[in-house]
Amino acid sequence: MSSISLRKLNKTYGALTVVHDIDLEIDDKEFIILVGPSGCGKSTTLRMIAGLEEISGGELVIGGDMVNDVPSKDRDIAMVFQNYALYPHMTVYKNMAFGLQLRKAPRDVIEQKVHEAARILDITHLLNRKPKALSGGQRQRVALGRAMVRNPAVFLLDEPLSNLDAKLRGTMRAEITKLHKRLDATFIYVTHDQIEAMTMADRIVVMSDGRIQQVDTPQNLYDRPINMFVAGFIGAPQMNMLPSVIERRGEHYVAVFNGRDLPLPTHVDQSRIAPYVGKEIVVGIRPENFHELPPADIDSANMAPFEAVVDLAEPMGSEIHLNITVGEQALTVRVSPRFKAAIGSTAKLVVDTTNMQLFDKETQRSILY
């Protein structure tokens, strides 16, 4: 059993608190990713779980036992660092075997485990090489292998892919996901890259300023962000935030943005919207919810025409990112590569409000969830 509980966990450096009373339950064999901007406390949290940082307050429970004062080596965890932290004077084999040797594991067991890990990670041909000769991706595999041979209950990975180029990062993402399924262990992974978080995690923990903002599955985070920070952090290009005013039109409510009505989604709880009539809120619309033509599968009640001046077009191959302006408000929309829009011209679009998000302007929290 390798479930982990963080109960009111905090970390302070003198008067400075970098992690504020975090509560988090991580299930056995779960792949959970801590994501957030630099300095949000995700690595500190991971290092507290690893035992590399002293816990200032709260409880850390691994497998039912409180381990606040248990040394790192006795926590049945293995950590993979951002800079790999391989011993440069040792071969790959010796790097991988070192932890087991310190634990006085029998030689044949070390041999078997190192070769098994090397086979899984496809680095058998590197075993007798020194890290100096290896590329970043190969070093990363070795670092993973070194963690694997210990057969820990929990893997902690601190931005393991951030030193790799984009192509290799994509490959390694898939490799780590497969590895998690194969090893059947708990993975806690820290990254500032939301694509890594979205593609790999069972659940994502979004952190900001030392606090957990939201914990949920990747799709739920995307579809139902609990506040403006999560809404803006998850998704690329990020969600457009439109300052609007809620008004009632007959039976329905609309958000009035820059003089145009955006119908609020019909499926949401109207009672949540009612208190905001006449008040300023922030409407969140993702770039892919803008279309050149009305999609056939969307209820017309949830669509509105939308005209904006094109500032910039960024062709991405499979799509175009248009930077557009409505009044003073800059937005980013995602359209098909067939869409032709000259810079400075007015683009006629349709906005789908089905997945529109509404946020309280004061608290920045979602009105809908």
Partner 1 sequence: MQWLRDMWTKEGPGIPKNAPRKTGLALFGQTLAREGWEMVKLNILFILAALLIITIPAAVAATARICLAHVEDRNTYLLRDFCEAFTRYFWRATAWGLAFGAAIGLGGYAVVTYAAIARDNVFLVFPLATAFVVTVFLGVVACHLLVLMVMRDLPPLTLLRLAAIASFMRPLPVLAAMLFVAGLWLAHILLYPVSVFMPAAFNFSLGMFAIVFSAHRAAETVLALPPAPLSGLKPEAGQAKHI
* Residue 213 touches partner 1, criterion: CB under 8 A: no
Instruction: Determine the size of the site formed for partner 1 (CB under 8 A).
Output: 20
Tell me how far, at minimum, the Cβ of 135 lies from partner 1, in Å: 3
Identify which range of 126-134, 228-236, 300-308, 314-322 contacts partner 1 by CB under 8 A: 126-134
Phi-psi region of 310 (alpha: psi -120 to 50; beta: other; left: phi over 0): beta
Q: How far is CA 99 from CA 72, 114, 136, 261, in A?
A: 13, 11, 22, 63
The nearest distance, CB 92 to partner 1, in angstroms, is 8
- Cβ neighbours around 83 below 10 Å, total: 12
Identity of the residue numbered 337: P
* Nearest C-alpha neighbor of 294 from the set 229, 232, 351: 351
User: Is residue 150 part of the contact set for partner 1 (CB under 8 A)?
Assistant: no
Contact, 193 vs 161, CB < 8 A?
Answer: yes
CB of 128 to partner 1, least distance (A): 5
Residue 126 is a binding residue for partner 1 (CB under 8 A): yes
For partner 1, which is the closer residue by CB, 47 or 139?
Answer: 139
Is residue 112 part of the contact set for partner 1 (CB under 8 A)? no
Q: In the set 8, 54, 83, 312, which binds partner 1 (CB under 8 A)?
A: 83
136 binds partner 1 (CB under 8 A): yes
**Virtual torsion, Cα 147, 148, 150, 154, nearest 10 deg:** 80
Q: Does 133 bind partner 1 (CB under 8 A)?
A: yes
SS3 of residue 88 by DSSP: coil
Q: Which is nearer to partner 1, 59 or 122 (CB)?
A: 122
Residue 122 in the binding site for partner 1 (CB under 8 A): yes
Is residue 355 close enough to count as binding partner 1 by CB under 8 A?
Answer: no
Q: Tell me the C-alpha distance between 181 and 320, whole Å.
A: 35
In angstroms, the CA 171 to CA 361 distance is 40
What residues make contact with partner 1 under the rule CB under 8 A?
Answer: 83, 88, 91, 93-94, 122, 125-129, 131-139
